[in-house]
Structure 1
């Protein structure tokens, strides 16, 4: 499959590194060919993510119109056909030193990570290609926090805490409702925390990676930042079949939801399409959830970022209705259910930010089991739809996608 292993490796190299101590490590894998080498369109096999998430149904309600998603990353290739009309501007935030030779154009992406993330969020459909974003009418604000050390050999230096924090503040000032951070670190940063709080105060929802195991110098269990900060929606990855992979993902209280992060289709940074690899990556899952957040924000512009996040968590598919797990958080995010959700405080799961839970709610705490073979989504969608339509707090059903973890209260500011 076209570049699946390559781009997957690049994503893993990016997703977890030490921002607080300085720049992220350079990528552990480099492009075999220049990123500017165009690739063919991928057509004929369909887009499995569209089916997995039930996007066709969600798009009947909204396609993300009126929402800007800031992608703080390696830049976004604004010339890719899938992103024509999608770019709402861009800026480079990396501080340039005297011995560095950066490309300061946020519309140039020699690495590919930012273009892929932006495409998963808001790629426009084009003839002859199966690539399409979760919110194909949303806008992308490209904020390049990466430094390019050499345009000759395509070497990249990752973002610093300062460049990421600066980008978050710029995104907020430019009116981004959703801010995508497909990166993480094991230690907190005062600069990033301050920027996150600033953006939240200006009405932005921060969606951040919960990290990838095996690509950080610190592989020990523990929370990752900024996903662990209050009010940030922390995202881990599952396979395209909905299975949590211990070898790829970190578990912890910073995980709020999961989404597929494997074998996805996205725009290529030199033109055309690419496959994003069989390795499960939280970078891609984070972009998927940012796309879902864009759909929610578009359909409910008068709600707060905390309410948008609650919609996504409350309607995620999970095995036990009122319990989160350190592996998958509140479950696998679902766009239609999040958009259609009516919050009266009574749905089992995370507490509503605006409604108290009714005293007479009865919650079925028995674990739901799904027997194979069967459509893993059919029963889940039926039960969720019934729950939403009836307004009765019964059970949400889900795919068994992870191990049981400790329940924690929802993080609130």
Structure 2
């Protein structure tokens, strides 16, 4: 797992009052995004498969794992179990901290994430299917609810409780498609408890168009120890400026042109102009579900190491604050044979790779020898000789012409 550089905690006022203390979703809910074929109370389907599945080699990965038996908790706005992509038993009852059932989603954000992770195939009329298509979804509803209310305040107040519930309910993976500049103690403790229990926690690295603080920098809970922080990429697999850049970014995944589930009404296509770390985080959570099935005894750090080491990137030895270690490649993560000789992040329990310190040494300022110096010297002597001969002849002529005394 990447060694994180944790900055000082943001100063908090009253619980959830300051903008820096509020947990913002990493993307707008479907009702606010630029979408097509998304209308409440009208069930529609998109025949095209989500482009991200091809870029992440999902079908190749399914020859090794499909997420079967893995429980992915989505701590968000609930998940609409009424969507046809979620047959009975695929979405667990979960728990709501804001009233109503966790299997009802008034917002739509949580349902979109659930579709990315574990939507079931329903035939030719729809190409939507989750990257971990047989995983189980555990909805943990921390915002929205029957009475609506201030969703940012709800998320801030309920995030730690939602994570703690996911741990107690037996989640294998916890998806947190949200971010904040605040390093809250209760959230920090809840995440530490999840990681200690062997749960892989995946969180958004931050989405600029949804952030109270739009400048690049550290975001939580992605920056907490043991959490995989995620940035979103465009269709060209390049992290967009809309993703917050910072030390919390470990890996990247597709976040635009997303085709996924829309509340209770079939499918929805999110515009290419709505890049989102929310969706990228869900794709990484789905990839983690595949690895969890493939390596059921692996620790969260070992699973994170597999994803980071095998991610697609320009330099095998260097991460950066934009894309982390690169775009995740689930199939490679499941098949790679890894040891300390593999370039990239340090393996769990491995020793940090030392960078040799610069050695001070005297600098030789002696100019290098001129290979043509002998030729130049010879030419100079010839020129001097010729000049002397000409001068001698001129003087002799002058003497001959002078009259005798």
Normalised to the residue count of structure 1, the TM-score between the two structures is: 0.75
How far apart, in 2, do the equivalents of 1:212 and 1:21 lie? 16
Aligned partners of 1:93 and 1:164 also within 8 Å: no
- Secondary structure (helix, strand or coil) at the match of 1:88 reads coil
Aligned partners of 1:75 and 1:144 also within 8 Å: yes
**RMSD (Å), alpha carbons:** 2.6
Give CA-to-partner distance per residue, 1:51-85, whole Å, 9 cap, x none: 11111110000001121000001000011111113
Counterpart check, 1:115 vs 2:107: no
Match in the other structure for 2:51:
48
Aligned partners of 2:29 and 2:108 also within 8 Å: no
Counterpart check, 1:193 vs 2:196: no
Aligned partners of 1:149 and 1:156 also within 8 Å: no
Aligned partners of 2:252 and 2:280 also within 8 Å: yes
Aligned partners of 1:35 and 1:110 also within 8 Å: no
How far apart, in 2, do the equivalents of 1:132 and 1:337 lie? 21
- Of the three residues 292, 316, 319, the one matched with 1:321 is 316
* Structure with larger Rg: 2
- Of the three residues 33, 36, 42, the one matched with 1:38 is 42
Q: How does 1:9-408 map to 2 (within 5 A)?
A: 21=21, 31=31, 37-43=41-47, 45-84=48-87, 85-94=89-98, 103-127=99-123, 128-148=125-145, 150=147, 157-158=151-152, 159-246=154-241, 248-278=242-272, 279-355=274-350
Aligned partners of 1:212 and 1:282 also within 8 Å: yes
Give every structure 1 segment of 4 or more consecutive aligned residues whose post-TM-superposition deviation is greater than 6 Å: 17-20, 27-30, 32-35
Give CA-to-partner distance per residue, 1:229-254, whole Å, 9 cap, x none: 111000010112201212x1111111
Aligned partners of 1:344 and 1:355 also within 8 Å: no
Aligned partners of 2:72 and 2:138 also within 8 Å: yes
Q: Cα gap change, 1:108/1:93 in structure 2, threshold over 3 Å: closer, same or farther?
A: same
Alpha-carbon shift at residue 264 of structure 1 (Å): 1.1
How far apart, in 2, do the equivalents of 1:169 and 1:209 lie? 18
Alpha-carbon shift at residue 39 of structure 1 (Å): 2.8
Alpha-carbon shift at residue 149 of structure 1 (Å): 6.6
How far apart, in 2, do the equivalents of 1:308 and 1:133 lie? 20
Q: How many residues align?
A: 330
Q: Greater shift after overlay, 156-165 or 106-115?
A: 156-165
Match in the other structure for 1:12:
none
How far apart, in 2, do the equivalents of 1:330 and 1:222 lie? 17
**Gap runs ≥5 in structure 1:** 1-16, 95-102, 360-413
Alpha-carbon shift at residue 355 of structure 1 (Å): 4.8
Alpha-carbon shift at residue 90 of structure 1 (Å): 1.0
Q: Cα gap change, 1:285/1:30 in structure 2, threshold over 3 Å: closer, same or farther?
A: closer
Aligned partners of 1:47 and 1:130 also within 8 Å: yes
Normalised to the residue count of structure 2, the TM-score between the two structures is: 0.76
- Secondary structure (helix, strand or coil) at the match of 2:112 reads helix
Q: Cα gap change, 1:144/1:347 in structure 2, threshold over 3 Å: closer, same or farther?
A: same
How far apart, in 2, do the equivalents of 1:110 and 1:46 lie? 26
Alpha-carbon shift at residue 147 of structure 1 (Å): 3.0
